[in-house]
Structure 1
Amino acid sequence: MPSIYNSATVAGAVMTANDWSLWLYVAGALGAVGTLLWWLLGAARASLLNALLPLTLVTSHGVLLSGGVVEMAGRYGFGAVIALFGFTFIFALSPILLEPIRRLQRVVRFANAVDFLTFRYRGRAVSLLASAGLALTSLPLLQGQFILITDLLTQLLGDYALLTTSLLVLLIATTCWLLLPRRRRPARLALMAICGAALVLVTAAISLTLAIPQFGGLTALNEWVVASGQQQVIHRTEDAYPLFVLFLAASIVLPANFLVALSDRIKPSQVRQMAWSYPLLLLLITVASLPLMWSGLALKLDAPLQSYLFALPLALGSAPLAAAAALTIIATALLCSASLSAILARMLLNSAVLPSVNVAQIHNLNGWISRRIVNIAIAIALLALAITNLSVNASLTDHYLVSFVGLAQFVPGLIAASYLPALGRKGFLTGLLLGLAVWLIGLWLPLMAGEQPLLQFASGATLTATLEHWPLWALLASMANLTGCALTTIVTRRNPEERFFANLCMVDNVYIPGRVNLNVDNVEQMRQALAGVLGSAADEELEAALQQLGLCASEQRPAKLRQLRDRLARELSLRIGHYAASRLMEQALPITEQHFQRRPDSGEDLNRIESMLAVNSRELTGIASELNRLRVHHAELVEALPVGVISVDSGGEILLWNRKMAELSGLSRDQVIGAHYGKLPSSWRDLVAQLLASAQPTLSSQPLQSSSEPRWFNLQRSQGSIHGGEEASEQLLVVEEVTESVRLTQQTIDRDRLASIGRFAAGVAHEIGNPVTNISLLAQDLRSDIASPEVERATAQLLEQTQRITTIVQSLIRFSRGDSATETLTVINLAALADEAIRLSPLDASGRRREVRNLIAPQATVEADRHQLLQVLINLLRNADQASPADTTITLTGRVFEDCYQLDIIDAGSGVPDALLHRVYEPFVTSKSPDQGTGLGLWVVYQLMGNIGGDITLFNNVGSAGATARLTFTLPSASAGEL
């Protein structure tokens, strides 16, 4: 059946643009658009641009919806409506087709489809062929824009039609220069949204105010459609299936659709909104275009169907609508051309230019890239314009169909990227090359040069390259593509890198950055490495990445450095393309080859999955959701354990640090997770290193060194791999504090030792008692037998010392029995007792004489047992004498308070270690070697001071060397009033 297009050029309406009112309306429309653009770019309306994305998409398809839809409806009837519905179906199928790629975009940015294909299939050959193929298959789209603009400008210029090409070149260059720089992106999006809205409104206005009223209403319009035979024509659907499949396939790869569907500025809720709003807009345009087409056919306009949007209002004398239609068509076509050319320019720049350029020598990388994109975009647009002028005359629909068949050749590779891990680089490239080759011969060649006979069969039939048989050539190209993919996949093998990234891109996989080793240890080294490949842009990129991740410039944790590297690669991929970015990152910050050799079930992946599942848990459903709940439960159990748990990988990186471990160490999870255990404080570092280096999996009662107070821990280490692998890639350490248990054990040991000493002391006291009694009796007999003053003095001293020995023996006996002191407290002169202690202390000193200054007031008295207090002073003076260097002074001073008296014994030694200060009163605690002290001196002093109702405090001097032993006594009631 012949198409309407063949009968649509019947003379009937006069096409003229000599009426200057038309140009006035165009100027007014431009003013209105400028005002609306200024309003949209206001700070308060910036967020409105995302809400207008469906309108932006309408403009991104160019003249397909302003002129192409009318021509398609005339050629294919309702098949065109079905095709356009398939064109918008990409957003409804987004969870199936694009969600895997959107999930990857959280960690790996893709500027376009070429970046994703390069990431999946690896290699520069993929990047070059994909970008060149997309550019070549997109050229017919650009040609379609220029075909309609050329026709429209020719009609508008009238006698000056020869200037059409020059004016079009000027418009292309001006549009690209003004709107394509990166800083003009908001203006470009706002202008595209305005044009999309204008296209919907202008099409609807022409249909409602001109087309339908021309027939006298909808009823009359329906009668005309039936009477003229248009009802049978519009109901044609024989090409609906290939059109639907073709438009659906092309919509997946179409650069504008791909960018919008995967943009990180687009929220999932907005994608769901576009799933219904975008088809609704196209439906409105299509429905409004049908009365417009029938009205033009009824008028027998001398114009092609693709020009009816402008020709109809002009023929009916509606200058405002004609001006609005002309401005909308030109603006839409120019914006589509500029936007598409810019996308193609970025692809070619990232794939062909940047990998070969020394980026370090570029001073202003952003400006350099922006200028190159504008220049390449202009070159692409002008190339398309030149091809348009040199090629044969084909319709707008033909150009879109040819382009869509070419774009469809990328669909197998895109779908296989997420669903067929067996397809490798060679299979993808072979299939794409074969599909594009068939497309070039069967469709692109006749689009450029007209119908071409290709092959003469023996039966006399001829295989002809012609646009009329586009469904056949589309099928042949797809079959060649799929056959090439399948055969090459069967006969070739993939390398480990291809298999690794194929698994990452699968629909049921979550991209987890590998725990790999870097060649840098801190941010500063990373800055220096990046400067070698990025030059002056390194500082800017690094500071931006640090700010986004909330890290500081002193960061040293390996996990955070890897995260910083991933963020840098992610942002660079968006700016210079994935291939160029990965190449630069491998030069500056290379990773180990084990990154591609990891097993999917390795312990490294399992640990990184924990963090990824915590972010994506809301997206899990069914059994995956239940398993995630079990994971969370197990994680909470580990966190709630009453013992510390540490997980360390084979490289020493800390992977787990539970709540109890943070409490024991005083180090939070955020400080430790991802760091090497060698970066821990020295005490914990030595403890962990000791356990990891030990041949035994268990270490008991290990002291924590350099701690403010002694602490002991039991340590255990897992044996073998905790994930069931052959190698122990990760070890689990359990840390349990046993300080109280060790102290109780030590106290029990001390009590046993004291009991032994008590029994020994009782024996010594019994053995000493008899000789001392005999010595006392002999001294008394000597004094009674010899009446001499000298003998009297000597025997008196001898009796005094024997009495002292007897008192000591009685104290030893009481100590061995555990009895409390029974002596009566008496008032004692402290100064006199101190002098006696000074006189007696050398008897027990080491022989190194120190000067002792007694500054106690002569009238100072306290209530105490004289013998026990004397023993206290002798012990403290002996300790001070042993601690003080030669030629130093030991000072005794006293101070009176309202109800107590303080006696200080001050030495000039090295002081008491801080770790022992609060334990010096425990038995057997000493800083001396075993041959210099037993550790019982201060313990005895503490016990004796308790017996007489006093107290002792030992502290290091502030501002000077040495320590002070402070004795505190309760003042006698009578003395308290006197002093």
Structure 2
Amino acid sequence: MGYNLGGLFLAAMAYLLLLFLVAHAGERRWLPRRLIRHPLVHALALGVYATTWSYYGSVGFAADSGLTYITIYLGVTLAFALTPVLMLPLMRITRRHQLTSVADLFAFRFDSRLAGVLVTLMLLAGSLPYLALQIRAVAESTRVLSGEGNPQSIAVVFCIIVSVFAIIFGVRHVTPRERHDGLVAAIAFESVVKLAALLAIAWIALQLGFGGPSGLDRWLDDHPQQLRAFYAGAGGPTWAGLTFLAFAAAFLLPRQFHMLFAENPQESSLKTACWAFPMFLLLLAMAIPPIMWAGVALDVGLPDDYTLLGIAALTDSSLMVIVAYLGGISAASAMIIVSTLALSSMCLNHLLLPAMHLAGQSDFYLMLRWARRMLIAVIIAAGFLFYLTLARTEGLVSWGLISFLAMAQLLPGVLAVLYWPGATRQGFIAGLLTGGAIWGIAGLLPALTAVGPIQIVGVDLAVAASADHFGQLAFWSVTANGLMTLAVSIFTRQGVREGETAAACREISTRVPSGTLQAQSPYQFVEQLSPVTGEPAARAEIGKALEDLGLAWGENRPDRLHQLRDQIQRNLSGMMGPVLARDIVDECLQLDADSRAAVAQNVRIIEERLERARGDFRGIAAELDNLRRYHRQILEDLPMGVVALTPAGRIARWNPAMHTLTGVSAGKVLGRAMAELPAPWDNLLAEFIAADSDHAYKRRLDLPGGIRWMNLHRAQIGDAEGDLRADSLVLIEDVTELQRLENELTHSERLASIGRLAAGVAHEIGNPVTGIDCLAQELREQRPDEQRLEQILAQTRRISHIVQTLVSYAHAGEHRPHAEPRPTRLQAIAEEAEHLVRLNPGARSMRFSHELDEALEVMGEHQRLVQVFVNLYSNAVDACGGEGAITTTAKAQRDGIQIRISDTGPGVPASIRDKVLEPFFTTKTPGEGTGLGLALAHNIIEEFGGRLKLNNRRGRGAGAEVVIRLPYPQTLEQQANG
């Protein structure tokens, strides 16, 4: 067409530099992270599926096979419609076990290095023609536009640039498990470019060829043979076969698998892609028929694959030609970049690293980076060499279908990974070899050589293979593959490790560490792994594993160290493949011989796995799991603490009641030794376990919240053969409230005894006091003017009054029927209570003030009201520390007599104001108070129909104030008379 080759070259270079800029902006976070990681951006990045085949070749495919071209899009749509049962399960497996490629997936599932090698070789063989196809499309499109006879120079430069791009933006991280945001942004950008270019050419085709959409309808009415030819290919075996091939390619092509799972930020992205990506493909597919028919109507005179370039050239617009050309560059470069990244990872993990001697690399990560860079360059160079050997007679679609057919051989294996745990590695390898042989002989070989038509089971192995040929070949090859996989799997058995990985793929991991780790800390893991990876890489990998699990470098719990070991293996799997990672971990992070305590040490691991697998249990297994949960819940719901200890003295069970008692959650102590518990629980358990008795009563503990008392009980746990699963089960019962009640009752009994003793002492004192009084009176009659005798008599009367008051107060506390309430003078009650309180030496410095009307009476029982005032005065004295004032006032109100007893102490804290009236509540130290005084006063006042309330005073000298409200005597009489 005469377009300048230099101009096309500059346009291609400018576009690829723009791609560099987009990727660089993504890596440097110049583009918002929320934008790059948006689910729709990920869906656009999946547009790497649409290569030059979709951009150029679909027009030629539609021209040859009509509507059959749509199968390449329908198969992908069907695969994404099955996201819940296909894509999501695969994503969970790959993310959980750090599997970054299709070869990793099968090597892990079948625990076979050979499986990884065969899958890598199959994918490499199937992808090289596809890579060559992209290079050829770029070269051919350049030749078509420039008219140059040999555009290999631009193909060479194109390969170099995409190689540099893939190396710079695809090997930035050590492991492919880490997302490459810049790469994803660039691939999404390329999807937008090729979609926009294709839609623009389709619109121009409608305008140039038919004058608009309505003109296309008229042209089709005038050329009915075009519609008949277009619909002739719909339906039938070929349609089904090609849809099946596209279904397999949707997620098994290396580039698709990489973008779907390795570069997927989250599950929500996949859920968005299940509808957004088919919509993207629908828009691509809609552009094909107008371009194809416009090529016929305009007679562009180019091969059908490059019709859209001819239509762009008819516009006489260099810009439109450049846009169409760059759409093809975009499609080719995206496919080559992502495919080589995925293939280089597979080749490194399954071909190169197993053949290398890994021992103490000075910079392990640098070695991995350079190995991947080298492989990327080698794979693109191999694709270029393959391009040089391609026969130009083969259409773009034929080479694409050859690659799709190679991917389809992995479908039986995918079904085994997801839904057939009984499949064996021997069955998978046999099926893959069978299907691969048929693909190589009937698909790849005829395209590479000039072999004439050959008939095998009805399949024509022609050089120029047709869509019908690939449809039949897909059926026969995959059927043979599946049948061989089934037959061999039935007659072979899985190994132990293969059975474990099969269960792990269904998230039913049955493997429990059967031995004890030689390493006792993460630091020892570093020492053991360093001989292979070098010390810096070992430290970095173990640090990453600790971060993944939320553990610290000081971790020493056996179950958590086992989990750390598994996480290290998963992380290494992302760098070097699952089989090699397992071999390295087994060799370096070794286990000792089986231990009796292994099951007990890993109770938490077992329970976590059973929790994840709950929905997969059926029949008796489900019933046993329910029984296990029931028994476990009994321990969890016990109102007393439960601690299970392993033979090594580590904690295997810590129920919620223990969390309540200690304030330490189960997650912080499970797997730890008793000595690591916070004080005083470490000594409590250690001493009890060391003791001979299985019971300990009323052990006192000084805790931050106060003193508490515990009863402990122990039981030995073991099976019939004495194989202890947990050495001891300890039950801890908090008996603090019971102990306090016993103490208070004992103290109350002691007070009652003192009261009875006081009554007896008063009686005994009364006799000599009476004698002294009589003698003093006789002496006074004999010597009436003697002043000293009057003083003796006054003192004896004082002693008698004190004795009578003590006797009355002692009797007031006895359990006897109370006298009926009667009018009682309030001033007499207050003065008698003051007199009793002043017997305490600590109250002699207190100032008492009774601002009471002598005639004011309340309804009650004298001695019991005295008891109320004594308790209130005693509390006020204690609050004031013996130095202060106590004021008692009273006044008559409409609803009764209001009495206020206030002091000059510090008042009552708001935090305990609601508790001070509760029985046995006291802020005094043990032995100084019972906590019953205010409670008894409150009950007595309520018994007399009154109310008692505790407040704090306001203003200067503020203290506590007790407000008592008692009814008038006449009010009670009126209530009685009714």
With normalisation by structure 1, the TM-score equals: 0.67
1:47 Cα deviation after fit = 2.8
1:662 equivalent to 2:651? Answer no
1:407 Cα deviation after fit = 0.6
* CA distance in 2 between partners of 1:443 and 1:725 (Å): 63
Contact 1:107 1:567 (C-alpha < 8 Å) held by counterparts:
no
Q: What is residue 717 of structure 1 aligned with on the other side?
A: 715
* CA distance in 2 between partners of 1:30 and 1:261 (Å): 24
> Could you list the per-position Cα deviations for residues 593-651 of structure 1 after superposition, in whole angstroms to 9, with x for gaps in the alignment?
879x99xxx9899854654688999999xxx9999999999978755532101234566
Tell me: CA distance 1:603–1:487, structure 2 relative to 1, closer, same or farther (3 Å): farther
* CA distance in 1 between partners of 2:56 and 2:675 (Å): 70
The CA RMSD over aligned residues, in Å, is 4.7
Aligned-partner SS, 2:258: helix
Residue number among 172, 179, 187 corresponding to 1:182 in the alignment: 172
* CA distance in 1 between partners of 2:721 and 2:386 (Å): 62
Aligned-partner SS, 2:128: helix
Q: What is residue 826 of structure 2 aligned with on the other side?
A: none
Paired amino acid for 2:144: Q
Alignment of 1:206-605 (within 5 A): 206-228=201-223, 229-235=225-231, 236-237=233-234, 238=236, 239-263=238-262, 265-392=264-391, 393-452=393-452, 464=461, 467-468=465-466, 469-506=469-506, 509=508, 517-535=516-534, 536-591=536-591
Q: What is the number of residues matched between the two proteins?
A: 743
Paired amino acid for 2:2: T
Tell me: CA distance 1:284–1:423, structure 2 relative to 1, closer, same or farther (3 Å): same
Contact 1:103 1:510 (C-alpha < 8 Å) held by counterparts:
no
Q: What is residue 903 of structure 2 aligned with on the other side?
A: none
Q: What is residue 725 of structure 2 aligned with on the other side?
A: 729
Q: Identity rate of aligned residues, in percent?
A: 25
* CA distance in 2 between partners of 1:213 and 1:511 (Å): 66
Tell me: CA distance 1:28–1:684, structure 2 relative to 1, closer, same or farther (3 Å): closer
Contact 1:453 1:462 (C-alpha < 8 Å) held by counterparts:
no
Aligned-partner SS, 2:316: coil
Residue number among 640, 645, 661 corresponding to 1:643 in the alignment: 640
Aligned-partner SS, 1:77: helix
Aligned-partner SS, 2:293: helix
> Could you list the per-position Cα deviations for residues 123-169 of structure 1 after superposition, in whole angstroms to 9, with x for gaps in the alignment?
21122112222211222221221221121232345447354354444
1:16 equivalent to 2:2? Answer yes
* CA distance in 1 between partners of 2:192 and 2:589 (Å): 48
Paired amino acid for 1:16: G
* CA distance in 1 between partners of 2:691 and 2:166 (Å): 69
1:110 equivalent to 2:99? Answer yes
* CA distance in 1 between partners of 2:5 and 2:408 (Å): 45
Q: What is residue 140 of structure 2 aligned with on the other side?
A: 151
* CA distance in 2 between partners of 1:35 and 1:495 (Å): 50
Aligned-partner SS, 1:520: coil
Tell me: CA distance 1:471–1:214, structure 2 relative to 1, closer, same or farther (3 Å): closer
In structure 2, stretches of 5+ residues that fail to align are 174-178, 750-839, 843-880, 884-925, 928-978
Contact 1:22 1:319 (C-alpha < 8 Å) held by counterparts:
no
Tell me: CA distance 1:456–1:364, structure 2 relative to 1, closer, same or farther (3 Å): closer
1:559 Cα deviation after fit = 2.9
Tell me: CA distance 1:443–1:350, structure 2 relative to 1, closer, same or farther (3 Å): same
With normalisation by structure 2, the TM-score equals: 0.67
* CA distance in 1 between partners of 2:684 and 2:413 (Å): 54
Tell me: CA distance 1:277–1:693, structure 2 relative to 1, closer, same or farther (3 Å): same
1:573 Cα deviation after fit = 1.8
Tell me: CA distance 1:114–1:168, structure 2 relative to 1, closer, same or farther (3 Å): same
Tell me: CA distance 1:166–1:47, structure 2 relative to 1, closer, same or farther (3 Å): same
* CA distance in 2 between partners of 1:370 and 1:260 (Å): 20
Contact 1:68 1:397 (C-alpha < 8 Å) held by counterparts:
yes
* CA distance in 1 between partners of 2:181 and 2:731 (Å): 56
> Could you list the per-position Cα deviations for residues 856-902 of structure 1 after superposition, in whole angstroms to 9, with x for gaps in the alignment?
xxxxxx999xxxxxxxxxxxxxxxxxxxxxxxxxxxxxxxxx999xx
Mean Cα displacement is larger for which, 383-392 or 41-50?
A: 41-50
Residue number among 34, 41, 50 corresponding to 2:37 in the alignment: 50
Aligned-partner SS, 2:517: coil
Contact 1:175 1:334 (C-alpha < 8 Å) held by counterparts:
no
Aligned-partner SS, 2:671: coil
Aligned-partner SS, 2:302: coil
* CA distance in 2 between partners of 1:102 and 1:732 (Å): 42
> Could you list the per-position Cα deviations for residues 67-100 of structure 1 after superposition, in whole angstroms to 9, with x for gaps in the alignment?
1222222233222223312123333212101333
Contact 1:212 1:295 (C-alpha < 8 Å) held by counterparts:
no
Mean Cα displacement is larger for which, 512-521 or 522-531?
A: 512-521
* CA distance in 1 between partners of 2:594 and 2:470 (Å): 49
Mean Cα displacement is larger for which, 75-84 or 531-540?
A: 75-84
Alignment of 1:777-816 (within 5 A): none
Q: What is residue 901 of structure 2 aligned with on the other side?
A: none
Aligned-partner SS, 1:494: coil
Tell me: CA distance 1:174–1:549, structure 2 relative to 1, closer, same or farther (3 Å): closer
Tell me: CA distance 1:367–1:491, structure 2 relative to 1, closer, same or farther (3 Å): same
In structure 1, stretches of 5+ residues that fail to align are 1-14, 753-861, 865-897, 901-941, 944-979
* CA distance in 1 between partners of 2:74 and 2:685 (Å): 64
1:685 Cα deviation after fit = 5.7
Tell me: CA distance 1:751–1:109, structure 2 relative to 1, closer, same or farther (3 Å): same
Tell me: CA distance 1:477–1:217, structure 2 relative to 1, closer, same or farther (3 Å): same
* CA distance in 1 between partners of 2:133 and 2:10 (Å): 28
Contact 1:310 1:322 (C-alpha < 8 Å) held by counterparts:
yes
* CA distance in 1 between partners of 2:128 and 2:4 (Å): 34
Tell me: CA distance 1:690–1:491, structure 2 relative to 1, closer, same or farther (3 Å): farther
Q: What is residue 968 of structure 1 aligned with on the other side?
A: none
> Could you list the per-position Cα deviations for residues 499-534 of structure 1 after superposition, in whole angstroms to 9, with x for gaps in the alignment?
222122227x47887586322111221221222222
Aligned-partner SS, 1:131: helix
* CA distance in 2 between partners of 1:635 and 1:424 (Å): 36
Mean Cα displacement is larger for which, 193-202 or 136-145?
A: 136-145
Paired amino acid for 2:33: A
* CA distance in 1 between partners of 2:8 and 2:199 (Å): 20
* CA distance in 2 between partners of 1:555 and 1:157 (Å): 67
1:455 Cα deviation after fit = 6.3
Paired amino acid for 2:73: L
* CA distance in 2 between partners of 1:654 and 1:125 (Å): 43
Tell me: CA distance 1:210–1:665, structure 2 relative to 1, closer, same or farther (3 Å): closer
Aligned-partner SS, 1:266: coil
Tell me: CA distance 1:157–1:44, structure 2 relative to 1, closer, same or farther (3 Å): closer
Contact 1:126 1:429 (C-alpha < 8 Å) held by counterparts:
yes
Aligned-partner SS, 2:524: helix
Q: What is residue 123 of structure 2 aligned with on the other side?
A: 134
Aligned-partner SS, 2:408: helix
Q: What is residue 763 of structure 2 aligned with on the other side?
A: none
Tell me: CA distance 1:408–1:725, structure 2 relative to 1, closer, same or farther (3 Å): farther
Q: What is residue 65 of structure 1 aligned with on the other side?
A: 54
* CA distance in 1 between partners of 2:124 and 2:198 (Å): 31
1:666 Cα deviation after fit = 5.5
Aligned-partner SS, 1:415: helix
